[in-house]
């Protein structure tokens, strides 16, 4: 191909195997949704036992008009979920061990007991 030649958009789309409208698509950034996601992350980080109902209630108290279904969708998108169905998760509420809780990972109780005893 010679310099200065540009492949038409139709041909580019054919080569990529996508519709032409996909090439022209520009995602819409909704600032309100980003704000909600930040607030959900803030609440979920503070207390990961909150589900969509509790987080919706917290956001409504703060003055945001939100629907629980929207909060559920955003929590799924952010991979957040409450840990109320897991057995033996009450030890995670101890503030001393908040650093050991990382989103979808719960450290074994044997390790927590190991840390409590002060072994290194």
95 within domain boundaries: yes
Tell me whether residue 91 is in a domain: yes
Cα 30 to Cα 37, 65, 66, 73, distances in angstroms: 11, 15, 14, 15
pLDDT of residue 98: 46
pLDDT value at residue 45: 87
Instruction: Judge whether 101 lies within some domain.
Output: yes
What is the reported pLDDT for 22?
A: 86
Which tokens go with 50? 């909150």
- pLDDT value at residue 99: 45
Decide if 44 contacts 80 (C-beta within 8 A): yes
pLDDT of residue 49: 84
| Residue 46, both tokens | 């503070």
The tally of domains found in the chain comes to 1
Q: What is the pLDDT of residue 7?
A: 87
Q: What is the pLDDT of residue 78?
A: 85
What is this structure's pTM? 0.53
Alpha helix (H) residue ranges in 25-108: 31-46, 52-61, 68-77
Structural domain contains residue 114: yes
Please tell me the predicted confidence (pLDDT) of residue 89: 52
Contact in structure between 88 and 109 (CB atoms under 8 Å) = yes
Q: Are 64 and 36 in contact (CB under 8 A)?
A: yes
Residue 34 inside a domain? The answer is no
Task: Report yes or no on 112 lying in a domain.
Answer: yes
Asked if residue 64 belongs to a domain, the reply is no
Low-confidence ranges of the chain (pLDDT < 50): 1, 94-107, 119-120
Is-contact 48 42, C-beta < 8 A? no
Q: Look at residue 45 and tell me if it is in a domain.
A: no
Domain of 112 in residue numbering reads as 87-120
């Amino acid at each position: 191909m010679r310099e200065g030649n540009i492949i038409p958009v139709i041909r580019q789309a054919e080569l990529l195997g996508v519709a032409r409208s996909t090439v022209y698509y520009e995602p819409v950034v909704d600032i309100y949704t980003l704000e909600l996601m930040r607030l959900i992350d803030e609440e979920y980080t503070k207390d990961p036992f909150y589900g969509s109902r509790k987080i919706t209630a917290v956001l409504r108290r703060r003055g945001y008009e939100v629907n629980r279904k929207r909060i559920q969708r955003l929590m799924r998108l952010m991979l957040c979920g409450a840990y109320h169905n897991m057995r033996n998760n009450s030890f995670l509420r101890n503030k001393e061990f908040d650093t050991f809780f990382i989103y979808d990972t719960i450290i074994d109780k044997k390790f927590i007991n190991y840390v409590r005893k002060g072994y290194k």
